[in-house]
Structure 1
Amino acid sequence: MKRLRILLFISFTALSAAFYGQDGVNVGDSTALDAARAQELYNSGIQKFNAQDLDGAINDFTEAITLSPDFFRAYFNRGSVKYQQERYKDAITDFTMVIELNADSTDAYFMRGRSYQALDQEDAALNDFNDAIRVNPDHAQAYYYRGGINFIHEKYKEALEDYNHAIKNKADYAYAYNDRGSTKRKLEDFEGAISDYKKAILLDNKLHFVYNNLGSVQRRAGKFDDAIGSFTKAIEAKSDYYLAYNNRGLAKYDKGDYDGAINDFSDAIRLKTSYSYAFSNRAASKYKLKDYKGAVEDCNKAIIINKDNAAAYLNRGIAREMLREEDDACKDWSKAAELGLKNGKLFVQQSCD
């Protein structure tokens, strides 16, 4: 019935900040003239990028490369624009060329890693983040994104170390504090998680999802009033934040405020009509208020949306038992058990033949 989601959020590096600049060249022979023209095109490409003329920027960087084939900065910037256009394979080709021309280009390893990550090629991304860190041990973002991969693969201790390094190298890294908080939560260091979420909010109080994460760990720690306050701030920061409404409803449910929980679950459903878990959560609240028919109706809706919502089957079975529909209740509990819910198996053993 209770389903919380801690999402790993990532920040996007401003590509303009990653762009390389280059000193001017002395004009003399034809080679120097080509280099001078390449420099002009390169500068023009940066200007077009800043004006959001991305295709024009790519054309200028391409002409610069044609005139000066070893112009690795032009390759990097062209790759960065392609990355922004979500042309990740083409971006990888450019970043690879940068690395061939300049093996110590931390930014090229990092951006190629981000491109591989966008293509779900996590092993390749991890290798590039490792190389970025090898070349520049102070690269906060490489640690951060490597931490994200470790987190996804449930390597929480490794992720924690990566986020520690990211924060050490960038003390105002709000996203790293948020994700370190989520990692500490997975390691059941709830007070540490709360501290990190609060630090992230202190650094950037507009990050609505951090309030939601803070509320989730406060609820897990049994601090229901604090959790309700945090979810409320998340909703104030993002009025259509259906997850925060659902989670605030769960905190109110835990506190015994079933009417308040129903109101929040209803708002979550209003904002996202396909949110199956809000229906099954509202059903649990209706059950507490002895509205058994209403609970069954909500569970029916939850199951129509998501036939694998085990909590909905469990809750419907409990409500059906109160309506003296014992056979149907046993069928629901059996289905919940089939979907992996231990309580479903327990109910079958205790109440069914």
Structure 2
Amino acid sequence: MLISCTGQVQYQSGISKFSNQDYLGANVEFSEALLKDKRNDEIYFARAAARSLAGYYSLAIADMNKAISFNDSRPDYFYFRGYFKAQLAYHKSAINDYSKCISMAPWYVEIYRQRAESFIALGDLTEACLDLQEAIAAGDTSARSLQIKYCVNKP
């Protein structure tokens, strides 16, 4: 019998548990996979997703930090780290991550609304309204209600 030394068996088991909404079980499997594959950014990303859905945003941020340290070329890593930070009301830091994501992948429609929400939380309605305009122009229809609520000069 061969024993996996790459963590792929645990990773696949974690994906299966994640798909079945067993986020704590997925966390355990991803943690086991990381014992065998400590530098795998995708496993850190998967564990961050499981941890966030279980409500552990601080742990999810720590995992995203690791994933980014191993692979800083993925805009989705910055998007999700920003989202996790926003859930904990770390809006300034979330805006930095959202901005990094936008610089890498400006076609992520939802990122503009997410960044606008953090600007709103900080009371910066000027920047928020600029982002909401971008979001609406890119097709994010959910940004329209925020624009109506917060932006005086509606297009």
Q: Same fold (TM over 0.5)?
A: yes
Aligned counterpart, 1:203: none
- What residue ranges of structure 1 are gaps of 5+ in the alignment? 1-29, 193-353
Q: Aligned Cα RMSD in Å?
A: 1.9
Whether 2:150 is the aligned partner of 1:150: answer: no
Residue ranges of structure 2 left out of the alignment (5+ in a row): none
- CA distance 1:177–1:100, shift in 2 (3 Å): same
The answer to whether the 8 Å contact 1:98/1:105 transfers is: no
Confirm or deny: 8 A CA contact 1:64 1:71 kept in the other structure: no
Residue 183, structure 1, aligned to residue 154, structure 2 = no
Structure 2 residue 81 is the aligned partner of structure 1 residue 112: yes
Bigger-Rg structure (1/2): 1
Q: After TM superposition, what 4+ stretches of structure 1 lie above 4 angstroms from structure 2?
A: none
Match of 2:5 in 1: 34
Once the 2 structures are TM-superposed, how far is the Cα of residue 160 of structure 1 from its aligned partner? 2.0
Q: Provide the aligned length of Structure 1 versus Structure 2.
A: 153
Change (3 A) 1:188 1:161: closer
Q: CA deviation digits over 1:301-353, x for unaligned, max 9?
A: xxxxxxxxxxxxxxxxxxxxxxxxxxxxxxxxxxxxxxxxxxxxxxxxxxxxx
Identity across aligned pairs (percent)? 26
Which residue does the alignment assign to 1:138? Answer: 107
Post-superposition Cα deviations, 1:8-52, rounded to whole Å, max 9, x if no partner, equal xxxxxxxxxxxxxxxxxxxxxx9xx523xx223212211111112
Deviations 1:200-230 (A, max 9, x none): xxxxxxxxxxxxxxxxxxxxxxxxxxxxxxx
Deviations 1:243-264 (A, max 9, x none): xxxxxxxxxxxxxxxxxxxxxx
Normalised by the size of structure 2, how large is the TM-score? 0.87
2:34 matched to which residue of 1?
Answer: 65
* 1:34 partner SS: coil
Give the aligned partner of residue 75 of structure 1. 44
Please name the residue that 2:134 is paired with.
165
Residue-by-residue CA offset, 1:104-160 (whole Å, 9 max, x unaligned): 121221111122212222111111111111221112222111111222344333222
Shift in Å at residue 65 of structure 1?
1.2
**1:174 aligns to what SS in structure 2?**
coil
TM-score when normalising by structure 1 = 0.41
- Which secondary structure state, in structure 2, belongs to the residue aligned with residue 131 of structure 1? helix
- Does 1:53 pair with 2:22? yes
User: Which of 90, 95, 101 is 1:126 aligned to?
Assistant: 95
Alignment match, 1:273: none
CA distance in 1, matches of 2:123, 2:136: 20
- Which residue type is aligned with residue 103 of structure 1? D
SS of 1:52 mapped into structure 2: coil
